[in-house]
Amino acid sequence: MSILGNGLFAHFAGTVLFGLLLGAAPALWAKECQCANCGEADAAGTKAFSIASLMGDDAPFTIGGWTQLGYHGHSTGVFNTHPGDINLHQQWLYAGRVADGRCGLSFGFWVDLLYGTDAQNTQAFGEPPPQRHWDNEWDMGIYGWALPQAFVEVAYGDWSVKLGHFYTLIGYEAVPALTNFFYSHSFTFNFNEPFTHSGVLGAYRASNGVTLYGGWTAGWDTGFDRFSATGHSKGSSFLGGIKVTLGTSMVATYVLTAGNLGFPQGKGYSHSLVVHATPAKNWAYVFQYDLVEVNANPLGPDTNHRSAFNNYLFYTITDTLKAGVRGEWFRSGDHSLYEITAGVNLRPIENLSIRPEVRWQFGGSSADERFFASQFGVSTGTTIFGIDAVLMY
C-alpha cells in the first residue's frame, strides 16, 4: 500500500492540529529558566527552518517534528515490513519543555505524536487481551497512530524525575528516525528491548561523568490502561542503570530491567551494555551487548533466552557525508541470526537527511533460518536495498 492511499492528507492535517493542541495546554505550568547557560534547546531541534523558530526565543516550550519517507526492496522482518512501495514511516510531531534543575526547581513535559507505518510497532502493545489497548485502536491498514511519549518532569539541582509514558533507557537504537544512523533497525532493537515504559523514572547526576537512573515501570511497552480498574496487565518491574564517561573518548551505559515485564515476556530480567567510543578523528565505534531471560516464550518455543552482540563503526567523510556499517549476532536459545548493514548519511541541506543502505541477513544454519522464519517472521539469505529521506522542521 503506498502513501497515496488511506486518506493520508486528512490524517496528516489531523496530526498537525492534534499535536499543536497537545503542546499548547501544558505551557501554562512550564517554568522558564532565567539563569545563564540553562534551558538549552532539545536535541530534536534544528538550526535550519523549524516550527519552534516561529514561536521566538522566549517561548515557554518548543514544538517541531519531521517527515520520514522510505523504500525497501524486501522485508527485513523488523519495522521495514512493507516492501515495494514508498511508505510514510513517520509523520512525527512533538511538543515539550526540558526541565533543567541547574536553575533550581524546574518543571517540564513532553508529548510525541506519530502517524505512519512505524506507529504499530510503537504502540502500547504490552497490554494483554481482553484489555483495550490505549493507542492500538487507531490503526488504518498498515498505517496507524501512536503516542510514544506523554510525561511530566520535575528537576532540582542534580535530580530529575519523569512521570508518565516515556522511551526506554535500554539499548543504542531508538524509535525516532532522527536518532539512528541507519534506515533499518537491528534485530536486537526489535526483539530484545522494550520501546517504551509507563511509570516513574529518576535520574541523579552524581558527578560530571556519572549519572545514575532508577525507577518503577509497568513492564515493557505498556500504556496507561495498566492503571485502570479493569486492567489485566501484570507488569511491575525495576528500570535502572548507570552512565559513565571514561576519559575524553568513551561513554559506557549499563541498564537493567527486572521483575514482571508484562505481556508477552513474563517474569525475568534483561541486561544491556552500550559503549560509545571515538578512537580517532572522524571515527566512532559503538559496542552493544544485550541479554534477556524470561519465564515465558513470547515468540514461541525456545524464545525465552535471547542475547545479542552488535558492533557499529562510523566515519565522517565531510560535514555533509558520513559512512557506517553495523554487524549483528542475535541468538534465541541455540539459534543464531546474523545481519550486516552498510550505508551512508547524506545531508544536502541542513534539515534533510538521505540514508541509502544495503543489508544482508542470514542464519547460522538452514535449521536456524527455518527457526527464525517460523518463530520470528524473519526471512534470511537475501540482500535488501533500502533508502529513506527525513525532513526535519
Distance CA 63, CA 95 (A): 4
β-sheet bridge partners, residue 288: 274, 310
Instruction: Kindly provide the b/e burial profile for residues 296-321, where b requires at least 16 CB atoms within 10 angstroms of the residue's own CB.
Output: ebbbeeebbebbbebebebeeeeeee
Position 137 scores a pLDDT of 66
**Cα-Cα-Cα-Cα dihedral sign, residues 217, 223, 224, 227:** negative
Look at the chain and report how many structural domains it folds into.
1
Nearest alpha-carbon partner for 70 in 51, 89, 57, 56: 89
Please report whether residue 170 resides in a domain.
yes
Please measure the distance between the N-terminal and C-terminal CA atoms of the chain and give it in whole angstroms.
26
**Where do the DSSP E strands lie in the chain?**
62-72, 87-97, 106-116, 144-156, 159-167, 196-207, 210-217, 236-246, 250-260, 267-277, 283-294, 305-318, 321-332, 335-349, 352-363, 382-392
Position 99 scores a pLDDT of 93
Position 233 scores a pLDDT of 63
Please report whether residue 2 resides in a domain.
no
pTM value > 0.95: no
- Can you read off the three cell numbers belonging to residue 149? 511519549
Distance CA 63, CA 32 (A): 15
Position 23 scores a pLDDT of 37
Position 127 scores a pLDDT of 66
Position 128 scores a pLDDT of 64
DSSP 53-70: GGG-TT-SSEEEEEEEEE
What is the phi/psi pair of residue 252, to 5°?
-120, 135
Position 300 scores a pLDDT of 86
- Residue ranges making up the domain that contains 353: 8-392
Please report whether residue 56 resides in a domain.
yes
Cell match 534483561: residue? 270
β-sheet bridge partners, residue 270: 257, 292
Please report whether residue 15 resides in a domain.
yes
Compute how many other C-beta atoms are within 10 angstroms of the C-beta atom of residue 158: 14
Position 43 scores a pLDDT of 39
Q: Looking at residue 351, which CATH number applies to its domain?
A: 2.40.160.10
Distance CA 139, CA 43 (A): 29
Contact 241, 283 (CB under 8 A): no
Helix (H) or strand (E) holding 375: helix 366-375
Distance CA 42, CA 59 (A): 13
Please report whether residue 1 resides in a domain.
no
Contact 391, 93 (CB under 8 A): no
Per-residue pLDDT of the chain (393 residues; tens, 9 = 90+): 444 334 333 333 343 333 333 333 333 333 344 443 343 334 343 456 677 777 767 778 899 999 999 999 999 999 999 999 999 999 999 999 999 998 899 999 999 999 999 998 888 776 666 555 556 666 778 898 999 999 999 999 999 999 999 999 999 999 999 999 999 999 999 999 999 999 999 999 999 999 999 999 998 988 766 565 555 567 899 999 999 999 889 999 999 999 999 888 889 999 999 999 999 999 999 999 999 999 988 888 899 999 999 999 999 999 999 999 999 999 999 999 999 999 999 999 999 999 999 999 999 999 999 999 999 999 998 899 999 999 999
